[in-house]
Structure 1
Amino acid sequence: MSNKSNKAIKVLIKGKIQGVGYRANTHQKATQLGITGYIRNTTGSTIELVGEGEEESLNKLVDYLKVGPSGAEIEEIDVEWIEATGDHIRFAIKY
Structure 2
Amino acid sequence: MATTAVKTVTVRIEGRVQGVYYRAWTEQTARRLDLDGWVRNRRDGTVEAVFSGHPSQVDTMLRRCADGPPDAHVTNVIVTDEGGAPPAGFQVLPTH
Structures share fold, TM-score greater than 0.5: yes
Distance 2:82 2:4 in 1: 13
Structure 1 stretches of at least 4 aligned residues deviating more than 3 Å after TM superposition? none
Q: Does 1:89 align with 2:88?
A: yes
**Which residue is equivalent to 1:29?**
29
Bigger strand fraction = 1
Whichever residue aligns with residue 11 of structure 2, its letter is V
Where in structure 2 are the equivalents of 1:71-86 lying within 5 Å?
71-80=71-80, 82-85=82-85
How far does the alpha carbon of each residue in 1:34-88 deviate from its partner, in whole angstroms, 9 at most, with x for none? Answer: 1000001112420100111000000110011000001101122102451132x41
TM-score by length of 1: 0.88
Aligned-residue CA RMSD (Å): 1.5
Any unmatched runs of 5+ in structure 1?
A: none
Distance 1:10 1:59 in 2: 12
Distance 2:44 2:28 in 1: 22
Confirm or deny: 8 A CA contact 1:17 1:74 kept in the other structure: yes
Whichever residue aligns with residue 88 of structure 1, its letter is P
How far does the alpha carbon of each residue in 1:15-43 deviate from its partner, in whole angstroms, 9 at most, with x for none? Answer: 11111110001100000101000001112
Question: How many residues end up aligned between the 2 structures?
Answer: 92
Confirm or deny: 8 A CA contact 1:6 1:84 kept in the other structure: no
Whichever residue aligns with residue 91 of structure 2, its letter is A
